[in-house]
Amino acid sequence: MANIERGEVLLVVGEREYTLRPTTNAIRDIERRLGKSYGQIIQALDTYDIDALTHMMFAVLQPHHAREFKTPNDVGTLIDAGGGINNTRIFSAALTEMLLANMPPKPPAGGDGDVPNPPRGRDGIGGNSGLTPDVSA
């Protein structure tokens, strides 16, 4: 069962259910395999890059389904079972849901995200600081 609080989503292919979860090690592995950054791989998914789709699915299946999917070729078989390369929408939809579930939250408008850290005080020292600038003689 997928736990959205952990960034997991459910993929249903036929009568089977799979839990997708992007772990740090899985993402590092896909970056090494493809020689691309995570951002480049995500962009490749938008351009219907089947290699990127297969490797991304392989990476996010590993935390819960590594025994069944030992190589990216095993994922190709899953994609074929789900309708093949002409019908990848269920895989793309699951990956999109997973990526959205794992995006960092945006800072609130006008909140802490817009305030320099630390706030500027006198002589560049944080306004709440009791320290004064060190003056050399």
Return the structure tokens found at 102: 């794992």
94 lies in a domain?
Answer: yes
Domain range for 49 is: 4-101
- On whether residue 133 sits in a domain, the answer given is no
pTM, two decimal places: 0.71
Angle between helix 72-81 and 50-65 (nearest 10): 100
Q: Is residue 67 part of a domain?
A: yes
Distance CA 82, CA 85 (A): 9
Token duo for residue 5: 């609080």
Residue 77 resides in a domain: yes
Number of domains in the chain: 1
Q: Going residue by residue through the chain, which has 137 residues, state the pLDDT in tens, using 9 for 90 and above.
A: 777 777 889 999 989 999 999 999 988 998 999 999 999 998 998 888 999 999 999 999 999 999 999 999 999 999 988 887 777 888 988 988 988 888 777 777 665 555 555 555 555 555 555 555 555 55
